[in-house]
Amino acid sequence: SRKRDLAIHRFRQNPPHFKVITGDDVYDVGKGRNNLFHSIILFLLMVMRKQHGMLGRVNLGPSGVNILGIFNKR
């Protein structure tokens, strides 16, 4: 696995539990019914900070699909 790899991984199927993996680090956002939602938010934040808003060749920032706009301060 490359240092730049970033993924959401399902660690348990029942009940479902997801973790965010970036390089050698594994982030657990806690268990419960919002685990997937919190994992997706952390994943998007990691894309913004570590991948400069790029998910592969897709820009998730303002010059692309702009989903990272949820993290902008107002």
- pTM of the entire structure? 0.86
- CA-to-CA dists, residue 68 to 3, 15, 28, 74, angstroms: 22, 29, 21, 13
Which residues does the chain have with pLDDT short of 70?
1-4, 73-74
Contact 50, 68 (CB under 8 A): no
Q: Among residues of the chain, what percentage have pLDDT more than 90?
A: 65
Element (H, E) at 10: strand 6-12
What would the pLDDT profile of 25-45 be if each residue is shown by its tens digit?
999 999 999 999 999 999 999
